[in-house]
Structure 1
Amino acid sequence: MLRIVNRVLLGVVGLALVVLGGSVLAVGLGVRPPSWWIHDGRHDVLLSDAARTRWRDQGWWWPAVIGALAVLVLLALWWLAAVLRRRRLTEVLVDVGDGEGALLRGRALEGVLAEDAGRLDGVAHAQAQLTGKRGAPGARVRLLLEPHVDPGHTLHLLTTEALAHARDSAGLAALPAEVRLRAVKHRAERVS
């Protein structure tokens, strides 16, 4: 969801900046703007002295400006934190039984899980990604299935074999998984 919001917001901001910048450039190069546009010609300014100082004497103006800018800064910081937050789990805490713990690289467990899932009958391609916390990881598995495969049977095999193997080998109590299944699309071929 956040990825969609990020892309839509970037697209809207980018489109607005391109339209505004392109129009200023076009007017500066001598293109005649429509009568309703924000400036009239190449020697016109975007904000006149009267427009910039119109609300300065009002008591609500400066608190409204500061409040709006503070909200914009908080939204920008939230957006930056959401973009920079790691989506992948880099390490998993493995209980070795002696009261100590060992760290297992997340990419290693992802690779083994994807390889085990890829070996299942009828799976053309498999991807795995670890999510959550290092003490309680979860998995996102994407499977590309051959057209003849029963998805229910493949899901059963995935949970009883590949996910159980990953959970047991890492010594985890549970390994919740989100599984996305997709079928391979074959192109029609001409037979002579």
Structure 2
Amino acid sequence: MLTAINRVLIGLAGLVLLALGGAVLAVGLGAPAPSGWIHDGRHDVLLTAAERTHWRGAGWWWPTVLAALAVLLLLSLWWLTAQLRRRRLTEVLVDTGDGEGALLRGRALETVLATDAAHQQGVAHAQAVLRGRRTAPEVRVWLQLDPDVPPREALDDLTAQALAHARDSAALKRLPAEVRLTSVKHRVERVT
């Protein structure tokens, strides 16, 4: 969802900036101003003195402006924190037994887990993403199953094989998993 919001916001900002910048550039170079445009010619100012002081005496003006700016600031801060938040776990702390520990790359564990899951009977494609904290990772697994595979068997195999291997190899006490199962689409067979 965040990717869609980013694309929409960046696309809208780009279109607005392109339209305004192009129009200002065209009027500044001497092209006739479009109808309803705020500038009449190349030496016109952005806001006249009357336009700048028009709403100064109204009691609702400054609270409205400050509220709009506060909402804009809060939305900008939300967007910035959403961008900076990491979606994937970059490393997992492995207890080596000597008190020091070792760091295992998150992508390496994801790749091994997905490869192990993809080699299961009836799994066409597998993908894994680590989340959580490095001392308590969680995994989200997507399995694309062949059409004739019962989901219960695939889930049992994943739990007994791929997830157990990942948990044991990283010396984790527990590895909670969210598994999403889909089926490979296949063509309808014709009966004659």
TM-score, normalization: structure 2?
A: 0.75
* Runs of 5+ consecutive residues of structure 2 not aligned to the other structure: none
Once the 2 structures are TM-superposed, how far is the Cα of residue 188 of structure 1 from its aligned partner?
7.1
Partner of residue 54, structure 2: 54
AA aligned opposite 1:93: L
Contact 2:94 2:104 in 1 (8 A): yes
With over 3 angstroms needed to count, the CA separation of the structure-2 counterparts of 1:25 and 1:155, relative to structure 1, is: farther
**How far apart, CA to CA, are the structure 1 residues paired with 2:45 and 2:4?**
37
**How far apart, CA to CA, are the structure 2 residues paired with 1:144 and 1:26?**
54
**How far apart, CA to CA, are the structure 1 residues paired with 2:108 and 2:186?**
32
Question: Please, which moves more after superposition, 123-132 or 4-13?
Answer: 4-13
RMSD: 3.1
**How far apart, CA to CA, are the structure 1 residues paired with 2:186 and 2:48?**
62
**How far apart, CA to CA, are the structure 2 residues paired with 1:101 and 1:60?**
61
Partner of residue 68, structure 1: 68
- Matching of residues 88-127 of structure 1 within 5 Å: 88-127=88-127
**How far apart, CA to CA, are the structure 2 residues paired with 1:150 and 1:25?**
63
AA aligned opposite 2:61: W
Partner of residue 86, structure 1: 86
Question: Please, which moves more after superposition, 151-160 or 62-71?
Answer: 62-71
Contact 1:39 1:45 in 2 (8 A): no
AA aligned opposite 2:97: G
Partner of residue 148, structure 2: 148
Question: What is the CA deviation profile of residues 118-168 of structure 1, one whole-angstrom value per residue up to 9, with x for unaligned ones?
Answer: 110111121111111101111111222222222221111111211111112
**How far apart, CA to CA, are the structure 2 residues paired with 1:184 and 1:24?**
53
Matched, 1:177 2:154: no
Partner of residue 161, structure 1: 161
AA aligned opposite 1:160: A
Once the 2 structures are TM-superposed, how far is the Cα of residue 75 of structure 1 from its aligned partner?
1.8
Question: What is the CA deviation profile of residues 31-81 of structure 1, one whole-angstrom value per residue up to 9, with x for unaligned ones?
Answer: 9967xx565977888755433321123355345424432432232122022
Once the 2 structures are TM-superposed, how far is the Cα of residue 92 of structure 1 from its aligned partner?
0.3
Once the 2 structures are TM-superposed, how far is the Cα of residue 18 of structure 1 from its aligned partner?
5.7
Partner of residue 129, structure 2: 129
SS in 1 for 2:130: strand
Question: Please, which moves more after superposition, 11-20 or 121-130?
Answer: 11-20
SS in 2 for 1:100: coil
